[in-house]
Chain A
Amino acid sequence: MTEVTAPATSRRPDGVWSRLRHRPLALFGMALVLLIVGAAVLAPVIAPFDPFAQNFDGLTMFGEPLPPGGAYVLGTDLLGRDLLSRLLYGARTSLIIGVVANGIALLIGTVIGLTAGFFQGWIGAVLMRFTDLMMAFPALLLAICLAAVFQPSLWIVAFVIAMVNWVQTARVIYTETSALAARDYIAAQRTLGASTPRILFRHILPHLVPLIIVWGTLGISTTVLLEATLSYLGVGVQPPTPSWGNIIFENQTYFQSAPWLVFFPGAAIVVLALAFNLVGDALRDVLDPTLRGSD
């Protein structure tokens, strides 16, 4: 009559990297991320043309953009600028927005959600009512107001997007934290004399990591598109600086006659979001000890 014994394993969790290595999808996602980051960093070196130059031979005799192929690998835009070069430089803008703006939003959302969810009481009430207020306010309108007050620049746009996007994260983190805080193992920690920071950072935050990763990866495409919207409305990244979003918006009216102008930047956004999603999913599984050994 022995107790059911779990498989006798005592492997220390190997490094995160060595476990990621065995996941082809994660590797693929990481390769894509590296590729995009590399392209952004090396844009001045590898771009075949000046992204701002309105090339003389970049338009047909009738003033139409050139389709992909030939000297301009991905074709040209309405002003005769090389699309590939603009996409390479645009990757810089979009990455900064997707990573920095999204990162700030996650940070704010997590701090607010965690504080409100753990302490409840009046602190929680104040923080969450403020979050609700922000949620009720149309995000785009808020972004336009903020962007109009400050002089539009890439960093201001990133900041504005973060100000708008932290709300959902805060809400989700709040719900999860208040559920975790009511669990027995937190009560057990209290009876062990653990301090509040210890409970928060050692026992609650690690459980929020999967949620944060999921929201973070989902947020990348949202923020990149929000930047595009702002650029379109003239309060985002100012032309002629390219970003994937504003390339789409500049050219969307000519979608019928020059579909590549919308397709390629759109595909770039999808690939970026997908790459981060693949990495994020794998990271979430690898960091979860209960899934250890199942891969």
Chain B
Amino acid sequence: METKQRTGAGTAPDDILLSVRDLTVSVRTDAGLLPLVKDVTFDLRRGETLAIAGESGSGKSITSLAIMGLLPPPAVRVTGGSVALGDRVLTSLPEGQLRALRGDRIAMIFQEPMTSLNPVMTVGTQLVEAIRAHAPMSRRKARVKALDALTAVRLSEPARRMDQFPHELSGGMRQRVMIAMALALKPDVLIADEPTTALDVTVQREVLDLLRDLQRDRGTAILLITHDMGVVAEMADRVVIMRRGVVEETGPVRQIFAAPANPYTRDLLAAVPRMGQGGAAIARPDRPVVADLREVAVRYDIRGGILNRVTHRVHAVEGVGFDIRAGETLSLVGESGCGKSTVARAIVGLVPHAGLIRVGDQTVGTMTAQARKRLSAVTQIVFQDPMAALDSRMTVGEQIAEPLLIHSTMDATARRARAADLMARVGLTEAKLDNYPHEFSGGQRQRICIARALALTPQLIVADESVSALDVSVQARVLDLLRALKDEFGIAMLFISHDMAVVENISDRVAVMQLGQIVEIGSRAQIFGNPQHPYTRRLMAAVPVADPTAVREATPRMTGDIPNPVHPVGASIARHHLMEVAPGHLVAEG
């Protein structure tokens, strides 16, 4: 059918494994069929990695689901064009035949490995089942094959992992299991939908390396769906840039990055935060200290035994100390579970802590209603997911005005006027004061959260991964807003992030956390220009660079168990001693 219309693109047509022609996917609404993806055309060749990149709502995931025949019925379906795998047109195959192809010749891995694995079955059983579903063989043989697959994805102790349940594995290990499952039957095409988005940078690095190695060894074609231009630059041979369901540009990766023809591609690449682009930091030793943390520790008890006594403690944060001056941004970076968000929550009084935290003239301590109210006037937090942080059943105007209602004696008209001011200040129109949160986009919702945080003109704003859930272009604008507000009001900011490039763009000073402790702290130039601690260096080396010509040094692969912050009661915790290597630049010894 469609394959006859293929025009020679320079390579032998035999090389083309997957061919998508004028694919249109529509959703049925009351107003008729609404196209989500329109006229998407591309080819995937053997051994090639094709990246579909775009921001949320670009239709990249819908495209991949359409290829797999996994569109959510009955509202969303393919309404035009075709997808062909070799000589078989997938879009016209009945579900039964499609199911036989899925997993066998075309496999998929998803963003969140925990939700893609069955939590009540061991890893081994799931692998064996997946294999036997497509290749009739004995259980024993399938098990051998499963073990091979786990070994191939370089999982430590593969034999032991076979009998473990998904929750016993870390995020990176789970994603490896998913890859093992997808590749066990040696499919021709692997669709990876944001395979590393939920993982830490160092783990992301390992998974990306693994995918590349497997592809080299087996010649699998990979269709990589991602929003991360850094990942695109490192992995892809060719790139399809999508926006709002339409292909904006297609081309070899180097050409796209070096000479993007399409204005949208140019904007997208310009918005990508890159390391080494931060301007000079402004030292502000003359400004007053707004936040002061000394020897802060947050520990959670783990009870066990027949007497239900505390047997272990999670040392989520241990001996953390730093200060932030007015108008200064300090970033806390580290991987998930390092305790950075716990520090944020301790500062705003959401988790109890040991040690001293002072913000402005308030000491964070036992939280009586009065003390909490006083604290909320000096510090505010902006969370990662703005939709979750807003009350979905209250208009945004009411929510922005709510702190004023709690803290001041302003009347309703004055509150509303102030809310309108704040809306305007964060770049939203006051006409939308009476709308509900779901009527805004993600970036706009985060602006609303920022407006609410500003309502009491706090001295310190804690931004806990506040831009991580946003698209790069939106992210860039929210960062600009935060920077402008900081300069305008002289607000100090504690910026929590796992994204090194974003951190470099916004911070004055940076603190690196590992396992609940700070291992290195210094000015941005000191940390990024002259990282001293091995962990800091590893973090930076792991960040994907949005430049396909960049040559990466081989990094040693991590093996063995990941250390964890759970210790038996009474065990002494090895505290890092910070040594000053340069003025203001402190590094943990050893």
Contacts and interface: CB of A to CB of B under 8 A. Distances in A.
B372 interface: yes
B271 A192 contact: no
A32 to B, nearest CB: 27
A21 to B, nearest CB: 19
Contact of A198 (B349, B393, B406, B433): B406
A185 interface: yes
B441 A5 contact: yes
A192 B406 contact: yes
B57 interface: yes
Interface in B442-490: 443-444, 449, 452, 456, 473-474, 477
Interface in A36-81: none
A22 interface: no
Contacts of A191: 348-350, 376, 379-381
A289 interface: yes
Interface residues of B, number: 51
A195 B435 contact: no
A232 to B, nearest CB: 43
Nearest to A186: B391
Interface stretch (A7-15, A83-91, A97-105): A7-15
A192 B402 contact: yes
Contacts of A190: 349-350, 372
A193 interface: yes
B515 interface: no
Contacts of A188: 381, 383, 389-390, 449, 452
Nearest to B268: A1
A193 B377 contact: yes
A207 B390 CA distance: 13
A9 B436 CA distance: 10
Interface string A1-34: 1011111111111000000000000000000000
Contacts of A7: 439
A270 interface: no
Contacts of B388: 183-185
Given A10-B432, A184-B385, A193 B438 contact: no
A195 B393 contact: no
A202 B402 CA distance: 11
Given A1-B267, A3-B443, A190-B350, A185 B372 contact: no
Contact of A6 (B369, B375, B433, B440): B440
A256 interface: no
Interface in B387-439: 388-395, 402-403, 406-407, 431-436, 438-439
A192 B390 CA distance: 12
A116 B385 CA distance: 27
A207 B393 contact: yes
Nearest to B367: A190
A148 interface: no
B392 A290 contact: yes
A170 B469 CA distance: 36
A240 interface: no
Contacts of A183: 388
A289 B406 contact: no
A55 to B, nearest CB: 56
Given A10-B431, A191-B349, A191-B381, A1 B473 contact: yes
A10 B435 CA distance: 6
B373 interface: yes
Contacts of B403: 192-193
A179 B333 CA distance: 29
A5 B394 CA distance: 19
B300 interface: no
B264 interface: yes
Contacts of B348: 191
A252 B328 CA distance: 81
Nearest to A202: B394
B379 to A, nearest CB: 8
Contacts of B349: 190-191
A1 B267 CA distance: 7
A289 B436 contact: yes
A259 interface: no
Contact of B436 (A8, A184, A290): A290
Given A6-B435, A193-B406, A289 B392 contact: yes
B342 to A, nearest CB: 13
Nearest to B374: A193
B441 A4 contact: yes
Interface string B329-373: 000000000000000010011100000000000000000010011
Contacts of A185: 388-391
Contact of A289 (B345, B373, B393, B452): B393
A190 B372 CA distance: 8
A10 B438 CA distance: 13
A1 B271 contact: yes
A195 B406 contact: yes
A188 B407 CA distance: 15
Query: Top 4 nearest A-B pairs by Cβ distance?
Result: A193-B376, A193-B373, A184-B388, A289-B436
Interface of A: 1, 3-13, 183-185, 187-196, 198, 202-203, 206-207, 288-290, 292
